[in-house]
Structure 1
Amino acid sequence: MQTLQTTSLQVRDNQLWILDQQALPQQKNWLPAHDVAQLVGHIHALRVRGAPLIGLSASLLLALLAEQGAAREELAQSLEVLRAARPTAVNLMNNLDRMKLALTQADFVFALGQEALRLVAEDRQLCDNIAEAGSALVRPGSRLLTHCNTGGLATAGVGTALGVIARAHQQGKVTNVWVDETRPLLQGGRLTAWELGELAIPYQLITDSMAASLMASGQVDAIWVGADRIAANGDVANKIGTYSLAVLAHYHHIPFYVAAPHTTLDRQCASGRDIPIEQRAASEVTGVAGSFGSVQWAPETAAVFNPAFDVTPAALISGWVLDTGVVTPEAVAAGVFQPSADAR
């Protein structure tokens, strides 16, 4: 396969490498993801994360394994192991469905390689389309709030919600970005803050519990988040803490936008009640670990509830910004999840 480079993925010497997002921002380490067990381990540990990026990394690995001589049956088994690695993010399922179809072709090695590269190129274009559509909704002088990480670290392109913010900043419309730290794994504090700094976009890092106070004091003009899965009725699963922001935004009459590629829409999933929510390890809540080491602050025997995602009802969302356009609340209320001709 040709050499490939994104913010978080590399293909070189016919091997897949991932940027360790658990080590950022202190260290920039490229780790091997040369087999299925390695990649699944990286996904579980969130060394590779972001719904689009997880799907792309799995697709690229399958294509590389095929080029290295893996048999069709072995690849089919590997595909299903990768599918189970992150149950909430629908991009992984969609990408692997396309790779599964490529696997049925007579020259499956060539077909898998072409499909994986096509998925990367499509994701880059999707991100550009989302940024263009979303930036039109950002008003001049905006102070925006975002949650988790939705930039180039999580995609092959400029990102989803963070791509919108970056494009709006290029247009001179963003004066400040409030960055939720995003408990318990601090993707906002570690990753979004790092990306905004790299892009020279003014930002201020806040703890998740500060968002309500900022909204009450009139310092937030709009909220932009991503999505791991969008149900057919417009309900959205995203990083835990998103629902809280949507409730607060609704109370304070602040626009709340979801930015995601159309591949995040799961029309087979009727509502948010049907979205599987991943439960993660207690150690993520009882302490913290990173490139600096580990710290335990809760009793080792503490009982922990640690869902990775929550679901925001469609009724709390001001607009769904897809690569195909903006879906309005009016369209969703009418039972039609399609972009409006004029969403502004």
Structure 2
Amino acid sequence: MGNPVEVIQSVKLDDENSTLILLDQTVLPNETIFLELKEMEDVWDAIYQLKVRGAPAIGIAAAYGVYLGTKKSNAETYEALYEDFKKVKEYLASSRPTAVNLFWALNRMEDRLKKEAGKNVSEVKAALKEEAELIRAEDEKICESIGQYALSLLETGWGILTHCNAGTIATAKYGTALAPIYLGQEKGYDFKVYADETRPLLQGARLTAWELQQAGVDVTLICDNMASIVMKEGKIQAVLVGCDRVAENGDTANKIGTSGVAILAKHYNIPFYVCAPLSTVDLECKTGEDIHIELRPSEEITSKWYEKPMAPKDVKTYNPCFDVTDHSLITGIITENGIAYAPFNETLPKMFQSNK
């Protein structure tokens, strides 16, 4: 048997002090700082600036955030409280347009608020807190289930390539794409993980390599453009990635560079798996063409991680945050209710009907 998982809870609620506590992922691995946020402007900024990141963690943060924002309301009636809730919800929803979990969590909180119609304000606020806590607890169970399904596809000693960070700090626990790594670690699978650095924000280098190393996993950091050679050399037997949105046809938006990894995996005949909680699957989004791709500031490419700028002053940049991996490149989409295979427009809806 292996070692127990090192659990890092990246999103916490301090209800007594009306505070959202977030692990600041922008300063890792050099510093471990937990932010204490009381104002909605700070919560919005934390989501936008990727201080909290990872689709499930964003959803949890949004749920806690909209609860805390509504908790501050001085409304004396349900109707007035609802109006205050909607203002907070709309504000937080504007922080990250691509991550579907943000909207999923906010909409779920609104659904709970609607169910509390007719109750007094204090009861409604308590219900919103309960719903936010449920979202966090459910995500922990979802991640473990995704990990178990994914682990069933892997063998002891395999080399696993991952891109960006879909680990425990991006979720309630275990992560999505890293969940089978952690569960395998506990069971002595002895995986050899290769983590792409994931330019330009370096989530693989700063976050994945850091948390796997903390957990005692055998992890090797590589530059993004080294994925091809480690595949060619036979070091990789499977690719596992997370995602921010899955369209009905199986097209998947994930951190920029994921599509290229999938193309390489196809060339080298290596299975490419997307680990996606059902909250990330958007059946209203028909194809990847319908997914909005967020553009990020140029300094993330030119100067953010350097002591001095590493590009000519005022050079034009193009910095999309995500790309879309075509469904034809995806071997399987692993959800908490099972593994969907092509044709995804038939199998993904069935995942929602499963009671496993």
Q: Any stretches of 5+ residues in structure 1 without a counterpart?
A: none
Taking structure 1 as reference, are residues 109 and 286 closer, same or farther at Cα in structure 2, changes over 3 Å only?
Answer: same
Taking only the aligned residue pairs, the percentage that are identical comes to 40
Contact between 1:67 and 1:109, CA under 8 Å: does it hold in 2? yes
Deviation at 1:139, TM superposition (A): 1.4
Taking structure 1 as reference, are residues 333 and 266 closer, same or farther at Cα in structure 2, changes over 3 Å only?
Answer: closer
Structure 1 counterpart of 2:29: 25
Q: Larger deviation: 32-41 or 192-201? A: 32-41
Deviation at 1:70, TM superposition (A): 4.9
Deviation at 1:78, TM superposition (A): 1.0
Q: Aligned pair 1:309/2:322, yes or no? A: yes
Give, as a single letter, the amino acid of the residue that structure 2 aligns with 1:226.
G
SS at match of 1:246: helix
SS at match of 2:178: helix
Q: Any stretches of 5+ residues in structure 2 without a counterpart?
A: 1-6, 76-80
Q: Aligned pair 1:198/2:214, yes or no? A: yes
Contact between 2:184 and 2:191, CA under 8 Å: does it hold in 1? no
TM-score w.r.t. length of structure 1: 0.92
Deviation at 1:297, TM superposition (A): 1.0
Structure 2 counterpart of 1:159: 175
Contact between 2:163 and 2:258, CA under 8 Å: does it hold in 1? yes
Distance in 2 between residues matched to 1:254 and 1:312, nearest whole Å: 15
Deviation at 1:333, TM superposition (A): 6.8
Q: Aligned pair 1:327/2:343, yes or no? A: no
SS at match of 1:296: coil
Distance in 2 between residues matched to 1:113 and 1:70, nearest whole Å: 17
Distance in 1 between residues matched to 2:223 and 2:155, nearest whole Å: 25
The C-alpha deviation readout for 1:41-97, integer Å capped at 9, x for no partner, is 111211111111111111102212333345422221110111121111111111111
The C-alpha deviation readout for 1:97-130, integer Å capped at 9, x for no partner, is 1111223323421221111111111111111111
Structure 1 counterpart of 2:112: 102
Give the 5 Å matches for 1:262-281. Answer: 262-281=278-297
Q: CA RMSD in A?
A: 1.9
Deviation at 1:145, TM superposition (A): 0.4
TM-score w.r.t. length of structure 2: 0.89
Distance in 1 between residues matched to 2:111 and 2:349, nearest whole Å: 27
Q: Larger deviation: 163-172 or 269-278? A: 163-172
Distance in 2 between residues matched to 1:133 and 1:334, nearest whole Å: 19
Distance in 1 between residues matched to 2:283 and 2:191, nearest whole Å: 37
| Corresponding residue pairs, total | 333
Deviation at 1:7, TM superposition (A): 1.6
Structure 2 counterpart of 1:85: 95
Give, as a single letter, the amino acid of the residue that structure 2 aligns with 1:11.
L
Contact between 1:165 and 1:174, CA under 8 Å: does it hold in 2? no
Taking structure 1 as reference, are residues 178 and 26 closer, same or farther at Cα in structure 2, changes over 3 Å only?
Answer: same
Give, as a single letter, the amino acid of the residue that structure 1 aligns with 2:85.
L
Distance in 1 between residues matched to 2:196 and 2:72, nearest whole Å: 42
Distance in 1 between residues matched to 2:30 and 2:190, nearest whole Å: 27
Deviation at 1:30, TM superposition (A): 1.2
Q: Larger deviation: 61-70 or 145-154? A: 61-70
Distance in 1 between residues matched to 2:351 and 2:63, nearest whole Å: 28
Taking structure 1 as reference, are residues 295 and 52 closer, same or farther at Cα in structure 2, changes over 3 Å only?
Answer: farther
Distance in 1 between residues matched to 2:269 and 2:54, nearest whole Å: 29
Give, as a single letter, the amino acid of the residue that structure 1 aligns with 2:160.
L
Structure 2 counterpart of 1:211: 227
Contact between 1:32 and 1:38, CA under 8 Å: does it hold in 2? no
Distance in 1 between residues matched to 2:274 and 2:300, nearest whole Å: 26
Distance in 2 between residues matched to 1:128 and 1:67, nearest whole Å: 31
